[in-house]
Homo-oligomer: A and B are copies of this chain.
């Protein structure tokens, strides 16, 4: 397996200072699932009364732990809960053995922490098609239990990394009726250099008190506008999972009307989603594709994804080439409604194409200078209606090929 030699040029300056979320304790351990010399299992223990909502990959070949989480996620319980995650092995495409391995881990965590197994959520990320050596994980559970610590979230962010080039964390405070509610989350994803899946895992914790149905509907709605709006290479993992746990320890209850909380949760989710893109394989540019004027929001999203996933658009960005012709091409092929002669395109502040033809004010020099920025915005207006979408992506570079083709497992 190839070694990561450098941190993404798009990485944040530092891992953020994440606050303690009362009701959550973390522990990590080096269990040797696959990697040596680093932590590879994290355990999060959640206090009784915590509600847990989630969102998962829609892959038809999703991994055993994802199926297990999905079976458990909608169930209300006043018991405590736990999340256990290993890196190094995705327990994906492992048939009946995979289901048994997931059960072996979650039942052992339940026994160790005195929880119903229904309240133990697990994720696995790493190579696929190999049996998960679950006994290496269960052998460490007593050690993990003894190490549980409210301040362990940064170490947890490290333990779930596979080939990420930096650990990803985000936090925000929200004031509701004069009381403070904290939200903190961690994520992994997109720095894949072994021949595995590009998996994304996200865990967010808050001390807000939330009814399960309220929390789940917030998470589903926000997921559609954050994690479901990023793409590195159009390839969808078999293991993607997002869990949001509300411990209720702040005593502040949130409802469908808690606009401030929802906005805070959105900020944390979007920040983590952007960090995943900033760790995109081989990425040197962070790109927002902003589509307006589409016939509908769905159409806008289809156009934005088509642009963000186009290898020709992504290589043009890598080459710092204001190649708006490729954006026209991506709009044309997307299948969503478009009228060539109503279409306008901006690269940052530069109007490059105006209603179906090159803009009279277009300056190749100015646009090329803009493309040298690390963060870019491509804005496409369809001129048809009120549909809008924002999608975030990165460029396609030699680094991507190196990571995914030049090394063998």
A38 at the binding interface (Cβ < 8 Å): no
* Residues in B neighbouring A324, C-beta threshold 8 A: 129
A332 at the binding interface (Cβ < 8 Å): yes
A315 touches B400 (CB 8 A): yes
Interface residues of A in 187-210 (CB under 8 A from B): 195-198
Partner of A323, one of B195, B311, B396: B195
Number of copies: 2
A406 touches B238 (CB 8 A): no
Closest to A98 in B: B357
A323 to B233, CA, bound (A): 17
A59 CB → nearest B CB, Å: 3
A106 at the binding interface (Cβ < 8 Å): no
The interface stretch among A87-95, A110-118, A175-183, A222-230 is A87-95
B404 touches A315 (CB 8 A): yes
B237 touches A329 (CB 8 A): yes
The interface stretch among A5-13, A43-51, A134-142, A335-343 is A335-343
A405 at the binding interface (Cβ < 8 Å): yes
Partner of A62, one of B316, B332, B356: B332
A409 CB → nearest B CB, Å: 7
A353 to B94, CA, bound (A): 10
Given A197-B325, A311-B234, A356-B95, A333 and B405 contact (CB-CB distance below 8 Å):
no
A312 to B409, CA, bound (A): 14
A330 at the binding interface (Cβ < 8 Å): yes
Partner of A195, one of B236, B326, B338, B409: B326
B93 touches A340 (CB 8 A): yes
Partner of A401, one of B321, B355, B401: B401
* Residues in B neighbouring A129, C-beta threshold 8 A: 324-325, 328, 353, 357-358
Apart from A93-B357, A321-B409, A401-B401: 12 A-B pairs, beta carbons within 8 A: A127-B325, A235-B312, A235-B329, A238-B328, A238-B332, A311-B400, A316-B405, A318-B401, A318-B405, A396-B405, A398-B398, A398-B401
29 contacts between A and B (CB under 8 A): A59-B329, A60-B336, A60-B340, A61-B329, A61-B332, A61-B338, A62-B332, A92-B328, A93-B328, A93-B358, A97-B357, A128-B329, A129-B324, A129-B328, A195-B319, A195-B325, A195-B326, A234-B310, A235-B310, A236-B332, A238-B328, A238-B329, A311-B311, A311-B404, A315-B404, A315-B405, A316-B404, A319-B405, A400-B401
Query: Which of A's residues lie within 8 Å of B, judged by CB?
Result: 57, 59-62, 92-95, 97, 127-130, 195-198, 233-238, 309-312, 315-316, 318-321, 323-326, 328-334, 336-341, 343, 353, 355-358, 368, 395-398, 400-401, 404-409
